[in-house]
């Protein structure tokens, strides 16, 4: 008998009006080697995602169709400390050592010393 494990995650939630991610990858000399905006998103834990977003400072309140929302922007950096080349096909937002939001994409080859810069934009309803 084959034992197969599969999990599914929501790709949207009513409290999240917009979620987007822009990724820049630069080599160890600072040259741009990749730029992409993935669109395959998975919400892995909505409660912890909101707990993570609650911690973000400098949120901006905005009105959309007369309803108040929060505009949240996160600017993050990562550095590849691995000594080998490998493929990366996912970027995650973490809270308490757990991925709460993930973007999947076709991937790119990551070299030692590569730096990636992620810019998250999230608009959520204020409850």
Give the tens place of pLDDT for each residue, 35-84.
999 999 999 999 999 999 999 999 999 999 999 999 999 999 998 888 88
**Residue with token string 């912890």:** 48
CA proximity to 18, closest of 89, 124, 98, 107: 124
pLDDT of residue 90: 87
**Torsion angle of alpha carbons 12, 17, 90, 8, nearest 10°?**
-10
Residue 78's alpha-carbon distances to 25, 26, 52, 116, in angstroms, are: 9, 10, 18, 5
Confidence check: pLDDT of 5 > 80: no
Residue 98: CB partners within 8 Å, gap ≥ 6?
44, 45, 48
- What's the pTM value of the predicted model, to 2 decimals? 0.85
Question: Would you list the domain boundaries of the chain?
Answer: 16-125
Q: For strand 115-125 and strand 98-110, is the pairing parallel, antiparallel, or unpaired?
A: unpaired
Assign 47 to helix, strand or coil.
helix
**Residue with token string 């400390």:** 81
Q: Which two tokens mark 114?
A: 């590569």
**Torsion angle of alpha carbons 11, 14, 15, 17, nearest 10°?**
80
Assign 49 to helix, strand or coil.
helix
């Amino acid at each position: 008998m084959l034992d197969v494990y599969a999990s599914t995650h929501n790709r949207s939630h009513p409290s999240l009006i917009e979620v987007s991610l822009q990724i820049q990858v630069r080599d160890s000399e600072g040259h741009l080697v990749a730029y992409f905006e993935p669109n395959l998103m998975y919400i892995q834990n909505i409660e912890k995602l909101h707990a993570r977003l609650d911690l973000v400072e400098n949120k901006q309140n905005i009105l959309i169709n007369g309803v108040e929302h929060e505009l949240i922007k996160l600017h993050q950096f990562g550095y590849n400390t691995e000594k080998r080349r490998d493929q990366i096909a996912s970027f995650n937002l973490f809270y308490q050592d757990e991925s709460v939001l993930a973007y999947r994409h076709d991937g790119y080859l990551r070299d030692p010393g590569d730096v990636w810069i992620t810019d998250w934009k999230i608009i959520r309803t204020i409850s």
